[in-house]
Structure 1
Amino acid sequence: MSDLNNIGLEKAESKELAGKLNELLANYSIFYQNTRGYHWNIKGDDFFELHVKFEELYNDLLVKIDEVAERILTLDHSPNHRYSGYIEKSEIPESSQVSNGKTAVREILEAFKAIITLQREILELSDEAGDEGTNALMSDYIREQEKEVWMYSSYVDDK
């Protein structure tokens, strides 16, 4: 029993999961800040529509940031909280000031691709570890974000 943490998961597997969740936390944090920038700086014909849509997105990302950090704590590890660390670990780059709607949406789609790919890795690890809590969280995020990708992709479809 000494190899198990407080929620009955193998300590070594929990440590690996917490590390991947900290990578996800870094990506979410950079994605969040980028989206705030899109919200603040958007200009043009689609200003009203995109300004609201970007606010919805960054509010959702803020909730997910908190949930991921709390999951790391539940696994008996510490969530990273420094932006310098986020920048090092994130696959999502910091965005420059973006005021063009289609450019912002294309960057959002790239961010979702990185996030969903990482969440699929975490889903596989959590399944192997028998970690239903992390598994359910990742599964819910993926399902929700796949729909978001479809919607944002429809916006930039120039066909």
Structure 2
Amino acid sequence: MNKLTFDCFNKKIFIKASLEKLYWCWGTSEGITSWFLREAIYTSDGKQRLPEDFIQPGDDYVWKWHNWDGQETGKVLQANGRDFLEFTFTGCKVSINLEDHGKAVLLTLRQFEIPTDEENKLNIHHGCSNGWTFWLANLKAYLEHGILLNETEFDLRDIPLSGFEFVNM
């Protein structure tokens, strides 16, 4: 990506953790619910994976967040077991690339194939870009300092526009 466009965006962050720990955080339901989701169910041919099992290409998923009654469903497109994952998300695609830099791992999240109509510019490009910025900072805080920044104590679901206004949704 050489210029900013509405059909994709990248988010990057260095995290002082092992490549294996970061892949676990993204590649298992146990890992992804430790810092990001309330619940993550991965299935292959209708059979649910165990929380500690690594996801595989072709898996279907159901994700549920704290403070949101909805859910996201999608499909794992790629998962190499070490440093790369790709999945469908909100009608788009998201890739996670992990690159070892010795003292830290560079995590690059790319969301792409975003429709460029006005509604998707607001909800997907703007909304997801802001959301991923927070969640990647949350992952860093979790792995480097053992704290979570997302709101789990207060119920924000009845507050209009909470998903657009609270920075730690």
TM-score by length of 2: 0.28
Relative contact order higher in (CA < 8 Å, ≥ 6 apart): 1
Q: Which has the higher strand share?
A: 2
TM-score (norm 1): 0.29
**Greater per-residue helix proportion:** 1
